[in-house]
């Protein structure tokens, strides 16, 4: 996986932890929660797009067929 993908994945998990922490807080700010959730959705969408692009690249990559290797004909029994 690319470094960019891993960084994005770490950011998504950190934002998710911040959202959970804010929701458990006694003085949770609705504005802060909305902003963090929007950030989480944006990051998640970027992650999905990167994954989709990677899958498309993998599926459209050229495939190399190996040449068939013929065993020499044996006369007699094994």
- Identify whether 18 is part of a domain: yes
> Which residue range(s) make up the domain with 14?
3-60
Question: Can you give the pTM of this predicted structure?
Answer: 0.70
Whole-number pLDDT of residue 70: 63
Whole-number pLDDT of residue 41: 97
Rg (CA), the chain: 25
Q: Under 8 Å CB-to-CB from 45, ≥6 apart: which residues? A: none
- Identify whether 35 is part of a domain: yes
- Identify whether 32 is part of a domain: yes
Q: Give the CA count within 13 Å in the CB-facing half-sphere of 48.
A: 6
Domain tally, the chain: 1
CB 43 within 8 A of CB 12: yes
Tens of pLDDT along the chain (78 residues) come to 689 989 999 999 999 999 999 999 999 999 999 999 999 999 999 999 999 998 888 888 777 766 666 666 666 565
- Identify whether 67 is part of a domain: no
Whole-number pLDDT of residue 71: 60
- Identify whether 78 is part of a domain: no
- Identify whether 52 is part of a domain: yes
Helix (H) or strand (E) holding 14: helix 3-24
């Amino acid at each position: 996986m690319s470094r960019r993908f891993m960084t994005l994945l770490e950011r998504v998990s950190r934002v998710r932890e911040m959202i959970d922490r804010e929701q458990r807080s006694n003085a949770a700010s609705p504005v802060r929660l909305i902003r963090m959730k929007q950030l989480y959705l944006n990051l998640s969408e970027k992650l999905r797009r990167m994954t989709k692009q990677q899958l498309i690249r993998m599926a459209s990559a050229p495939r190399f067929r190996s040449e068939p290797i013929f065993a020499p004909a044996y006369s007699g029994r094994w």
